[in-house]
Structure 1
Amino acid sequence: MLRRRRIIAFLLVAGIAGWLLSGGSNFQAAEIPSPPTAGQFELSTESEGHTRTALVHIPKNYNAQTPPPLVIALHGAGGGAESILEHDNWAELADEKGFVVVAPNGLPARPRLPGNFLANPQLWNSGQLREGSPRSKIDDVAYIRVLLDELAKKVPYDKDRVFATGHSNGGGMTFRLGAEMADRLAAIGTVAGMVAVDKPQPAKPLPTLFIFGTADPLLPIDGGESTLPWGTRTTPPVADLMQKWADAIGCETEPTTISDDDAIKKVRYRSKKMGPELTVLYLHGHGHQWPGASRNLPARLIGPITSKLDATAELWKFFENSTK
């Protein structure tokens, strides 16, 4: 009975927090104008019989004649496009650095019913979902391909500089894009995402940055059972996940420590053939929260918030350097 009460309390608080992180508003974006101008717009596409939506942030001084880079930003389970654009600061950085960012919305766990953080959260088919569930039958990689094609018609972007990032379940989906859609990407970077693809075999190795808090209660560093707002799960040690991805992109499976101080341990999985590498930033004592976010979930739900790292800025710097 006590365990049940704790879970109910967890779910209620998590539901409120999820509403807050999604903006707690009825934000409505207009369709992309033609020709495209700076601002935030909605793009609807059809994929596998579902109408899918995404928010597109076009930066100030956008010029279709000199197409800028594109970042695909994927929210976590229960979140939405607005949260990763606004609270994780991708829209602000896009304006500052001059790239386009597209933030698609995941479909609910029961895709034919309205989304609800507590009862029917928006999420991604990253490989983590229960096999045979309605949501696991929907191909989100196919949707992202359609999204990129439709976006290119309306907002020209540099197809040689397309990057993907995501948080938590969106981070797991980022790894899946890297495994199954490497032909459309230049690099990937995730925060607290799980490599859930079985035996990933990307068409080409991609430079990868993984940012992870060592006190993350939802993806424990040593593996084991954790409690999510929607139940419990068991995950392998994070080192095992990193070894799997390092092997997939042609890197050594044992990391080299680059630096280690009170705040961050930086390790790198070196390429076996002078190719792209996997870099991991372990944030000492940090939980599941996106580092540097402007709005945070309660620490008792997602662990401590100790890192001063601006993950969005760090990921963009990594993306820029990966194509130089």
Structure 2
Amino acid sequence: MKSILQLSILLLFISGCTKSPVYQSQSRLYSSIISNGLERNYLLVLPDSYDNNHNFPLVIALHGAGGKASQMEKHYNLTQKANAENYVIVYPEGTQSDGVLGLRYWNAGGCCKDAADNKTDDVKFIQELIEKIISRYHINRKRIYITGMSNGAMMAYRLACELPGKIAAIAPVAGTMYTEGNCPATTPVPILHIHSEKDTRVPYNGGTGVGGIYFPPVEEGIAKWIKINDCKESSRTETQFSNYKTIEWSGCQKPVKIYLTEDGGHSWPGGNPHSRFADPPATSVNANELIWSFFKQHELD
């Protein structure tokens, strides 16, 4: 199982598997912290507008299985968007597997190897990283957001469940909620989920995907947030557009909304095509535009 999964993920990220750079400048820092005895890496980028007179919003961007900070930055254009919107952005990296490829994973609960098997405490790592960034930079504690791709999207859901009162909103892309047991959150969190109905690697309706792994349906996880956010379950509405639809619920303390595209696949809508083995990005919506528009509407009470 492990060899099949690693080969599949290698094909997804074959163009982004070179050794991570180590560098530091006034606006870019590739560094590490020690969390639970492990050295954990991250790439942090400040916007051109950064100064010491204002507190800036922070976006935490979580790569997919097999990815890394530089790969996510290169393929999804997140740094350019963060800079344009005057946000600080950080790209943490998952732990590397013991396999020959040394692929990186997040422990999102039941997924993904090897982080899940080793019970890596990625929640603690992200919590400690947030506190370190806040201690060094001018960050608005009420405006800390998380987005992620695939395994990173799954990790975004777990962080929303386990860091109540710290995350202002999340925007998972092409993932699903994979936490083991019940989500312990009682604090509502705004949720924006983006997915393609053509995604066969993490199927929207659930089923066997990449590496022969079973993934729960997206709306099974969303149902937990409908309850946490105190939405009216019967208020589900769909709105069809030319090449995508939106699904949302009304009467919520915090909104829950899905963009489901008819094009693309297991990819970042509006991102850069990066491998002949990877699915083409959807063009019907632009994930970065949707995500920032959503984040700007929400901050912690």
State percent identity of aligned pairs: 27
Task: Say if 1:21 and 1:167 are closer, same or farther in 2 by CA, change over 3 A.
Answer: same
Contact 2:97 2:113 in 1 (8 A): no
Shift of 1:254: 4.6
Quick one: which of 27, 38, 41 aligns to 2:21? 27
Task: Say if 1:237 and 1:254 are closer, same or farther in 2 by CA, change over 3 A.
Answer: farther
Shift of 1:199: 1.3
Q: In the aligned structure 1, how far is the partner of 2:116 from the partner of 2:268?
A: 29
Task: Say if 1:136 and 1:269 are closer, same or farther in 2 by CA, change over 3 A.
Answer: farther
1:317 aligns with 2:293: yes
Contact 2:33 2:40 in 1 (8 A): yes
Quick one: which of 269, 274, 281 aligns to 1:296? 274
**What does 1:86-235 align with in structure 2 at a 5 Å threshold?**
86-110=74-98, 119-129=101-111, 135-197=117-179, 198-226=181-209, 228=210, 231-235=211-215
**What does 1:65-76 align with in structure 2 at a 5 Å threshold?**
65-76=53-64
Contact 1:109 1:134 in 2 (8 A): no
Quick one: which of 236, 255, 262 aligns to 1:284? 262
Shift of 1:172: 0.2
Q: In the aligned structure 1, how far is the partner of 2:112 from the partner of 2:83?
A: 39
1:15 aligns with 2:2: no
Aligned residue for 1:46, secondary structure, equals strand
Question: Could you list the runs of 5+ residues in structure 1 that have no partner in the other structure?
Answer: none
Q: Which residue of 2 aligns with 1:257?
A: 237
Q: Which residue of 2 aligns with 1:64?
A: 52
Shift of 1:153: 1.9
Aligned residue for 1:141, secondary structure, equals helix
TM-score calculated relative to the size of structure 2: 0.89
TM-score calculated relative to the size of structure 1: 0.83
Q: Which residue of 2 aligns with 1:242?
A: 222
Shift of 1:244: 2.6
Q: Which residue of 1 aligns with 2:283?
A: 307
Q: In the aligned structure 2, how far is the partner of 1:219 from the partner of 1:15?
A: 16
Q: In the aligned structure 1, how far is the partner of 2:225 from the partner of 2:286?
A: 24
| One-letter identity of the residue aligned with 1:28 | V
CA RMSD between the two structures: 2.7
| One-letter identity of the residue aligned with 2:203 | P
Task: Say if 1:132 and 1:316 are closer, same or farther in 2 by CA, change over 3 A.
Answer: closer
Task: Say if 1:99 and 1:217 are closer, same or farther in 2 by CA, change over 3 A.
Answer: same
Task: Say if 1:134 and 1:256 are closer, same or farther in 2 by CA, change over 3 A.
Answer: closer
The aligned length equals: 298
Aligned residue for 2:67, secondary structure, equals coil
Q: In the aligned structure 2, how far is the partner of 1:133 from the partner of 1:41?
A: 25
Q: In the aligned structure 2, how far is the partner of 1:303 from the partner of 1:240?
A: 24
Task: Say if 1:131 and 1:45 are closer, same or farther in 2 by CA, change over 3 A.
Answer: closer
Aligned residue for 2:297, secondary structure, equals helix
Task: Say if 1:130 and 1:218 are closer, same or farther in 2 by CA, change over 3 A.
Answer: closer
Post-superposition CA distance 1:3-38 (Å, at most 9, x none): x9xx97x9768535513135x4653322x6xxxx4x
Task: Say if 1:131 and 1:164 are closer, same or farther in 2 by CA, change over 3 A.
Answer: closer
Task: Say if 1:134 and 1:196 are closer, same or farther in 2 by CA, change over 3 A.
Answer: closer
Question: Could you list the runs of 5+ residues in structure 2 that have no partner in the other structure?
Answer: none
Shift of 1:80: 0.3
